[in-house]
Chain A
Amino acid sequence: MIRSLIRQLRRLDWIMVVAMILLLGIGIAFVYSAGYREADPAGSRLCQKQMIWAGIGLLGFLVFALIDYHRWTHRSWWLYGLGLVLLALVFVPHIGLKVYGARRWLQVAGLRVIQPAEFMKLAAVIALARLFGRPGRNPRRWRYVIAGLLMVLLPMVLLIKQPDLGSALIFLPVLAAVMFVAGVPLRTLGLLAGLGSVLVILLLGAITLPPRLGWAETRTASWLKVIGITPYQRERILVFFDRDRDPLGAGWNKAQSQMAVGSGRLTGKGYLRGTQNSLGFLPRTVAPNDFIFSVIAEEKGWSGALTVLALFGVLLGRGLRTALVARDKTGRLLVTGIITMLFAHVFVNIAMTIGLLPITGIPLPLISYGGSFLLGTLSALGMVQSVYIRGDWV
């Protein structure tokens, strides 16, 4: 038993593990920096919590690495169903917890316990891998494509309701990558992409047109309610298209984050020396989580940002290599889905930090402060290792 454990551990992808642990370390260091205020213990408290979560997460990583991933894929429908139930529970009073105007948490006896979205992302990826990965499933058949689409749309709708548009959108690249690798014909994918684009354009039109048409505020508001967009989300999307719109409101974080990143220059201002964060221009509610990358880029400059991106490059590259050595198609698709999900987080988070994408509230994997998300990410990486350990390589 123990000998088999050791044999399995020796088959871990250690390059990937090292990259992962380095990123975790960077995360802990900069969560400390982001919360750091002179003579204020709040920063170190945040950092301690993050370290505890990292420990729990690493344990989870090992457990998921050692357990055969087929155990999860065989129960994918149960997991998926559980995810949906949890996601629905956030709307139940006294169980769902409202923080900053969004219902993202489940609480037990007043304590925040879990963000069901993190669980749902993983459950959906497992379910998708199972859907397309079972032997004999022909990816050319429309029924599987439509099943996959529905499987993703259901949690997306619930997430948009929270509202958490950012997390909802993460499902789209995951679905696309899994279907692409599964062998869904390019024609089908192109058609879906086209349909999606039309929908997005219609949505944007619905958001941007009313003011140009001279609609009254109340009419615009009721119209937005019909299409399911909150005024807050609308504002964020509009800010992305108009740089100078509302620099003190929704545009504030974006402008301050860009200033932090840009002023970091080549080598940065030094650890704990970032002023954007310590002077409060980068609000302390977002600095340790959604905007952690701008803290790193300010304090360590381009070289620090490059280091982080290189580590992510190693992590993602080794991850996709696992897809190439997976023993079966289910494993291959599972790894593809997980890595795509991680990639989407990394790209969207950094892109919004530097102003390439709208501010959507997506954390940076392994680095941003947040227990559920860290646990979810490490568990997912554990699953990738599980595929790797059982993979077909000498």
Chain B
Amino acid sequence: MSSIYLSEQEVWRIRLVMGVMAAALVLLVLALADMQILRGHRYQTSLEEQSVRRIRIPATRGQLVDRHGICLADNRPDYGIAVYLEELRPARRQRLTAPMAWQAVQQVAAAIQCPPQVTPAQIEAHLYHRKALPLLAWRHVDQRVLARLAEAGTQLPAVDIVVDSVRLYPLGPVAAHVLGYVGSAEPEEDEGPGYDYSLPDLVGKSGLERRFEQQLQGQSGGRLLRVDVSGFMHDEIGFREPVPGDDLMLTLDVDIQRVAEQVLADTVGAVVVLDPRNGEVLAMASSPGYDPNILSPAISVADWSRLALDSRKPLLNRAVNGLYAPGSIFKPLVALAALEQGRADARTVIECPGYFEIGGQKFSCFMGEVHGRLTVQEALEVSCNVFFYQFGVQCGLDPIYQLALAMGLGQPTGIEMDAEAAGLLPGKIWKRRVRGEAWRDGDTCNLAVGQGALMVTPLQMAVMTATIANGGYLYRPQLIRGMRTPGATEFQRLPPALVRRFHWAPAHLALVKAGLRDVVQSPRGTGHLACLPDVVMAGKTGTAEYGPKGSGFKHGWMILFAPFDQPRYAVAMVLDEAVTGGSSVGPRVGRLMGEVLALNRVGESG
């Protein structure tokens, strides 16, 4: 470099310009490092927010099967036709207008000869809210329509068949109250965090479907879609397979369930059949019933008003939610309480003159009968009220109350049903609190014959029957026998749940059981109409008045267990309107047990 050309000043000025430029480039490098390295994740997040959509995919709901594996609740495919909007766009234009989509839908409609099930307004709404998803233009299409779609094939704009899952109850109304039903999930219940779109999901609305929602529902899967600037799907960047729900094996036996429902078919009432050896519910029926298929996936307005406005309340599961005064079927418990207390034994005799007076009140025997001198066994057989009035007064409230409490009255049994009714077991504290009065002997008399404020459910009575039948083992009634996780072949069995073991003196238990046997087997027994020729059974009838005194409304009851020596079935049946338990319910229980035992024989020989 020669100084002739270049002055000292020029050199440092050029160097300064160089320095300024270098500093500026370094500034850019640092600014980029700040954006890309230090704050990169934040830009990444906002980028994903604008271009990634999460879509929730519901899992296949678990099945419900009976104890022999017969399917009670299943899923069936429901075919629909969807239009892929993003493929309808002209190649160079980003936006798609609703009229263009409508035109495409009409083109498909002409080909499949089926009018579109969406309106232009709905298409507009879809383009606004759920643009990344295909437009479901037809739902519930049948095979013929699908065939026509396949024929038209490639000439149609971007359409595809989509399969949705619908809950199906193959046996229709069988066990409807136990199974419950499903409905579309409410959006606010369902919209999980982080999902941009939730596909419609089924959710249990009642019965086991609701109680085991968690297990049946499975784990929803998801899709990650990338959308372009106009909101249409660009590609799929992630997919998580949904995990199907668990299958449940019920304790119900479909054959017994069917018989139980047939027996009740023409009336209003409920019946529960338990296995006294483990508390498994073999049948639980409530009449009138309904077909849960009309409720899934959505019920029509007409069907709903028919079900909801029916005064006989077909949606009510009377077996666990129906509250009744037990009447005379409560007497075996009273007898047991008194015997265990030591106030009476097999030889105790009480005279029935047809009435009983206490505290100035006169209680008549049932239907004004005069029974004469009776032992405990005979009193059960003929269901003498006067005997039990006396018995009750002699033994006092406490033993009866304690045994009834231990038997689970006034509390839910703990069966796998939501909102089970607890019933009401009146006692001294209850009366003081609710009625503001002291407990009187008259109240004890009423309680001793299963009247007064006492309220029970048919299930509670079935549990009591089973506990007497099996000699004092109180099992929690059970509807679920096993569970099967997806992929597994075998159901994992659930063990029976013993709630309490009663240590009754064998002689006392035998005495009560003998009385109950005579109810059915003896010609003068109140339950003799239930008697079957080739099996010894034991039971108790009951007739409970309700409504205003003297109005004549009566519930009819019968509890029963069979066979007498080795009980395998414990039954409790109630009819909302009856003449007496023995005459109205007895024959039905007899028919039920006859058919159940016949089934059993077929099962054993086959």
Give chain A's interface residues, CB within 8 Å of chain B: 40, 177, 180-181, 183, 258-266, 275-276, 278-281, 297, 301-302, 305-306, 309, 312-313, 316-317, 320, 323-329, 332, 336, 339-340, 343, 346-347, 350-351, 354, 356, 392-393
Contacts and interface: CB of A to CB of B under 8 A. Distances in A.
Contacts of A340: 17
B499 interface: no
A329 B13 CA distance: 13
B91 interface: yes
B1 A392 contact: yes
A320 B226 contact: no
B14 A324 contact: yes
Given A262-B36, A262-B39, A265-B44, A279 B22 contact: no
A177 B41 CA distance: 39
Contact of A262 (B14, B42, B94): B42
Contacts of A329: 5, 10
Contact of B31 (A180, A354, A393): A354
Contacts of A326: 5
Given A266-B40, A279-B234, A317-B18, A258 B9 contact: no
Given A262-B39, A297-B32, A354-B35, A320 B25 contact: no
A136 B158 CA distance: 77
Contacts of A305: 29, 32, 36
B124 interface: no
B6 interface: yes
Contacts of B94: 280
B59 to A, nearest CB: 30
B184 interface: no
Contacts of A312: 25
A261 B6 contact: no
A275 B21 contact: no
Contacts of A317: 18, 21-22
Interface string B25-47: 10011011101110111111011
B298 interface: no
Contacts of B36: 261-262, 264-266, 297, 301-302, 305
Contacts of A297: 32, 36
B22 A275 contact: no
Given A258-B43, A266-B36, A279-B234, A356 B31 contact: yes
B605 interface: no
B37 A279 contact: no
Contacts of B9: 183
Contact of B18 (A276, A320, A356): A320
Contact of B5 (A259, A302, A316, A392): A392
Given A262-B43, A328-B5, A332-B6, 13 more contacts: A181-B17, A262-B47, A263-B40, A263-B44, A266-B36, A280-B94, A280-B229, A305-B32, A312-B25, A324-B1, A324-B11, A329-B10, A393-B1
Given A262-B42, A279-B229, A281-B50, A343 B29 contact: no
Q: Is the interface of B mostly helix, strand, loop or mixed?
A: helix
Contacts of B41: 265
A208 to B, nearest CB: 25
A313 B43 contact: no
A261 B35 contact: yes
Interface of B: 1-2, 5-7, 9-11, 13-14, 16-18, 21-22, 24-25, 28-29, 31-33, 35-37, 39-44, 46-47, 50-51, 91, 94, 226-230, 234
Contacts of A279: 51, 226-229, 234
A350 B36 CA distance: 14
Contacts of A346: 25
A181 B10 CA distance: 6
Query: Which of B36, B50, B227 has most A Cβ within 10 Å?
Result: B36
Contact of A264 (B11, B16, B40): B40
Given A336-B17, A340-B17, A262 B51 contact: no
Contacts of A350: 28
Given A262-B42, A305-B32, A275 B51 contact: yes
A280 B89 CA distance: 14
23 contacts: A40-B91, A180-B13, A259-B43, A259-B46, A264-B36, A265-B37, A265-B44, A266-B36, A275-B47, A276-B47, A279-B227, A281-B228, A281-B229, A301-B36, A302-B36, A305-B36, A309-B28, A313-B22, A320-B14, A320-B17, A323-B14, A329-B5, A339-B21
Contacts of A393: 1
A336 B2 CA distance: 19
Contacts of A356: 31
Query: Which of B22, B24, B94, B226 has most A Cβ within 10 Å?
Result: B24
The 5 closest A-B pairs by CB, nearest first: A262-B43, A280-B229, A265-B40, A302-B36, A279-B228
Nearest to A265: B40
A269 B145 CA distance: 45
A262 B44 contact: yes
B92 to A, nearest CB: 9
Contacts of A339: 21
B1 A259 contact: no
Contacts of B21: 316-317, 320, 339, 343
